[in-house]
Amino acid sequence: MEPVDIDPVKYGVLWERVQNMDKKMDKMEAQIAELLELANKSKGGFWMGMTIASGVGGFVSWAVSHIKS
């Protein structure tokens, strides 16, 4: 194998780019975790809304059936 000449300037530029990408990835991971947490919170609100709507709909249906008869 022949020795490979590595340009220190190009290596330094590459090293900095990798470091910047690493920081961006860490930031993206934190944002994704935040989004996941927010999505999980909204699931509970959605199901609570469905429960309330179902209850109100059932009550209205019951009231209408008793008023008709």
Q: What is the pLDDT of residue 3?
A: 77
Kindly report, residue by residue over 1-26, the tens digit of the pLDDT.
777 888 999 999 999 999 999 999 99
- What's the CA gap between 49 and 55, in Å, rounded? 10
- What's the CA gap between 48 and 41, in Å, rounded? 11
* pLDDT confidence tier of residue 69, bands split at 50, 70 and 90: low
Of the chain, the percentage scoring pLDDT greater than 90 comes to 55
